[in-house]
Amino acid sequence: MNHLISVISGPTEVFFSPGEDCLGAILGLLHSASASLHLCVFTVSDDRITRAILGAKRRGVEVRLLTDNEKLYDDGSDIRQLARAGIAVRVDNTPNHMHHKFAVADRRTLLTGSYNWTRSAALYNHENILVTAEPRVVAAYAEQFATLWEAMTPFT
């Protein structure tokens, strides 16, 4: 099965790692976005994902990224690179961790799960991704993103 999906073929699909299936689901979602891409992730350190996010920005997709403030300066973190490329980034400056791992593309497709957007997640970890176009579920995550976006601090 080719997991570099351009659209969701059914209401919900699931993917598991280790292996490339979860990565393929993320890349598929990033490549399929045409208008907006709202990313809410603990960190991004997989260069393949970073390239796809930058590609979406170059295609004219509005990309917004929420992340944890303590992960900004980790070795391998690509968050600062994404911010320098003009992607709007906001960070959680509370004592808590912003530990979500979800993305909403075009307000119609949701990707979520335990999968960290890191190279080691694909290579070593038992993780999961769920991708759905179920309108009520997508709307709930889109609303949570909007709430967090307003509450978090712009990263410059």
Residue 1 counted as domain residue: no
Residue 6 counted as domain residue: no
Residue 3 counted as domain residue: no
Residue 82 counted as domain residue: yes
Residue 130 counted as domain residue: yes
Catalytic status, residue 126: no
Residue 124 counted as domain residue: yes
Catalytic status, residue 75: no
User: Residues 3, 38, 100, 101: which is the catalytic one?
Assistant: 101
CB atoms within 10 A of CB 88: 16
Q: Is the peptide bond before 154 cis (omega within 30 degrees of 0)?
A: no
CATH assignment of the domain containing 54: 3.30.870.10
Task: Going residue by residue through the chain, which has 156 residues, state the pLDDT in tens, using 9 for 90 and above.
Answer: 334 333 445 679 999 999 999 999 999 999 999 999 999 999 999 999 999 999 999 999 999 999 999 888 888 999 999 999 999 999 998 888 889 999 999 999 999 999 999 888 888 899 999 999 999 999 999 999 999 999 999 998
Give the Cα separation of 31 and 112 in Å (integer).
Answer: 16
Catalytic status, residue 47: no
- What residues make up the domain containing 146? 12-154
Which residues pair with residue 15 across a beta bridge? 129
Number of domains in the chain: 1
User: Residues 47, 74, 99, 126: which is the catalytic one?
Assistant: 99
pLDDT of residue 3: 41
pLDDT of residue 10: 60
Q: What is the DSSP string of 50-76?
A: HHHHHHHHHTT-EEEEEEEGGGTTSTT
In contact, 50 and 44? CB cutoff 8 Å: yes
